[in-house]
Amino acid sequence: MKGSGGAIGLTENPAALKRWTIAGPEQARILDEFEEMNNLTEEPSFHSHEQGHATRETFHKQVSNMYDAIESLGTRS
């Protein structure tokens, strides 16, 4: 359940914390019920695009480029 101000907003506002602690479990129950009714409780069998070889290669290249850029900044006299 998303709220304004995040966790800090909840801890600093007693009324918001009370609403969250009362509504949170009910929202979870409703969501579970919805997932069961629509057969959404099973884990999907597909893999995320982020798990692909090309994505990992791109990430590796980007990290390497960033490292080189930062290293070049430190070598100036």
**pTM more than 0.75:** no
The three-point CA angle 20-18-29 to 5° equals: 40
- Torsion 11-15-21-24 (CA) sign: negative
Amino acid at 34: F
Kindly state the average pLDDT of the residues 8-31: 82
Q: What is the reported pLDDT for 52?
A: 77
pLDDT band at 72 (very low <50, low <70, confident <90, very high): confident
DSSP at 4: T
Token pair recorded at residue 29: 């129950």
Neighbours of 10 (CB within 10 A): 19
